Structure 1
Amino acid sequence: MPFSYASAPRPLIVTGSEEHLDAVLRLCAAAAIEPLVCAELATARPHWPAAPLVVLGDDVVAGPGPDLPVLERRRDVVVVVRDDPRPAVWTTALALGAEQVLVLPRDDDALAQLLADRADGSGRTAPVVAFVGGSGGAGASSLAASVARTAARAPGGRDADGDVLLVDGDPLGGGLDLLLGDEARPGLRWNDLAATHGRLSGTALRRSLPRADGLAVLSWERGARDVPSDEVVAAVLTAVRRAHALVVADLPRHLDAAAAEVAARAAVSVVVVSDDVRGVAAATSVVRRLTGWSSDIRLVVRRRRGGLPPALVAETLALPLLTTMSEDSRFRRAVEDGVGPVARRSSVRAAGRSVWSLLAPELAR
C-alpha cells in the first residue's frame, strides 16, 4: 500500500493565545485529531515541513519576526483570528504561504473540515473493489473476505492498525465478521452509525472499527433494527476511503441505493457466477443493473463438476474472466471452525490470492 496512516504526520497548531488554542483544540477533539502544539514559530520550525496542515494564531503573525526567514513558504497554512485581521497579519500570513485567514467562531466549520481532511490524508483516496454474487450462494462474500485478507497480509501492504478495510454491504447477509470468525471482536458496526449526521472523520472511524492482522471490518450486528440511510452510507464510505489504503466491499445482488453508491465508486467490480445455466441466467440481470453504476466489471466463475466452461460463461455475460474458484467443502468446514478465508489449501483462499495478484498492480497506478 502506498501510504501508512499509522505514521501520518499530525496537524500543527502554533499560537501563544489560550483563547485560540482552546478554540482549535475543541475542533480537533470533535474530529478525533491529536495535533502538535507550539507556542511560537521558533519552536514550530522542526515540524513545519511535514505537518499536513499548519494553523497559526494571529498572535504569532502580527508582524515580521526574526524567525520568519528560516521558515519556508509552504501550502496548507491557515491563520485564525477573533476579529477582522489587521494589515500586518495579512502581510506575514502571505509571506508564510497562508491560503486563508479564518475568523473564529464564525469559520469553525471551515476549519473543522480542513483539519479532518488533512488528518485523514486528503488526496490519498483508497480504491474500492466491489464483489457481487451473480446468484445466491455463488461465493461472492467468501471471495471478498479472502481478497481483503490477502491484501492485508501482502508483503509491505499492511500495518498494525489495518490499512485494508472490508465493508459488509448486505444487512441480510449474516455478517462478514462471522465469516472471518471475528464476530466477538469489539468495535463499531453499521448499526452504531445509523444515527450519525453530516461529515465523518475517517481517522475516528479507523480507530473504532474491529481489526485483526492488518484488516479492519465494517459489518452488521445480527438482529439489530437500526439501518443507516443512504446518506450515512455515502458519508461513511467517503470517510473510510480517506483513512485506508484499500476498501473491499461485499454488495447484495439487488443493489439497493446504498450498494449502488458503493458500486459507483468502485475502481473494479467483480461478479462471482456459478457455472450452471440458472446461475448464468440470474447473473445476466445482476450484470445489467451493475453496468449502470460500475464502468469496470470482471468475472470470477465458481466451478463445479460437469458445469459450463468458464470461457462460455464469460462470453455469455460479455465480461473479462479474472479467474475461477472450485467448489470446496473444506472451506465450509473452515467457516464453521472460525478460520474461513485463511484456511490452508482452500480453493477460496487460492482464488483470493489470484484475484489480488491480478488487481494489485492496476490499483497501485
Structure 2
Amino acid sequence: MTNSSIPPTMRAWSYKGRGQLADVLNLTSDFTTPSPSNLGPNDVLVKIEYTAFTPSASALISILPNWIHTLPAVPELVLSGTVAALGSNVAAKRPDLTIGARVFGGTSTQLYFKGHGALAEYCPCPEEQLVVIPSSISFRDAAALGGNGVTAVEVLEELGLKKGEKILINGGSGATGTMLVQCARAIVGDSGRVVATCSEGNSEMVKRIGADETIDYRKHDPLHEYLAKEHSETRFDAIADTVGIQDLYTHSPKYLRENGRFVNIGAMHIQSGLQGLFGYIWSLCVNLLWPKILGGTPRWYKMVTATPNQFTLSRSGELAEKGHLTAMIDSEWEMEDVLEAYKKLHSQRAKGTILARIPR
C-alpha cells in the first residue's frame, strides 16, 4: 500500500564519509527518496514532520568507518510523521498503521547502516518501532517523546523503580534528564524522593517538573564526594547517570544501597569520537566484568542504549496523555539550520529535546 504522491527525490542532510559534522554534512534537494517498492516486508515508509536530535546518532558520523555502512547516508534515528507506504506484511500485522496515520518512533540501526536516517523528508522504519500518536499529542511533542521519553521509560524499567524509593538523576535538566525526573516522580509518588543534579540556573525548572532536591554540580565538584557526605545515611535505591561520570559509579557504595541499581546512559562523550568510544568500552568492561573480589564496584550496573519499541513508545504516549510526562523541548530548527542545532546539542546546555522541522 502506497501514497501515490511520493516524489522520486527529497530534501535530506547526508554525509559521504566519517568526519566532523561541519565538514561532512550537506543539505541537498535531490537525494533519492526511499522507494516503496524496495521496502522490507515489515517496514513502513514515513513522511517526516519532525526529527529529534540524539547525541549517539551524531556521534556515529565521526566514529563509523566508511566501509561499515552504505554511503551517502542520512543521520539521525528519531522522528514523527505520517505513514506513506507499507511493506507487504504490515497491514496484516498492524492494522493501526494505515496510509496517512500519524506515527512516532524511529528507524533501526540495520536500516541506518543501509544509509537511511531521519534527517530527511522520508525514512523507512520497522513497524515494531512505530506507534500511532495519541490524538491529544502534536507531531512536535511526539518526536520528543519518541526519543528521550522512550529512553526514560526504558531506564526506569531497567532500574525497577518502585513507589516510595529514592532516586538520583545525574543531569536532570538535559533532554533525557527532564523526562526521567517526570517519570520517576510519577513512579515513586509522594512517599518517594527524586534528587537531580543541574546548574543553579536550572534548579527551579527541575524542581517544577518533579525533583524534591537539586544539586548544583558546579558548586559540588567532585559530585561523588558531596553525595558521600550528604546521602550516606539515607542512601539511594537507584541512580540514573545521563552524563557519564565513571567516578559516580566507582564510589557509589558510599551512597547507593547494597541492593541498589545503577544505569548509565551517558558514558560515551559525543565530542570525543573514537577516543570516547574506546573509553566507553573500557569503562563498560571494567564495570561489568571486573570481579568484586579484586576491587570491582559491588553494585549492580547496566549501560542502556534505548531503542524504541511498541511498549516503550506506547508507555511514553500514555504518560503524556495522563499528564505525567510533558515533552520538554529546548528549541526547534528549520532544515537549513541543522548545523546550528548540532552546535546547541554538543554544547550540553540544552534544556530538553532539540528538534528539526521537516518542511512539506
Normalising to structure 1: TM-score of the pair?
A: 0.28
Which has the higher Rg, Structure 1 or Structure 2?
1
Normalising to structure 2: TM-score of the pair?
A: 0.29
- Structure with bigger strand share is 2
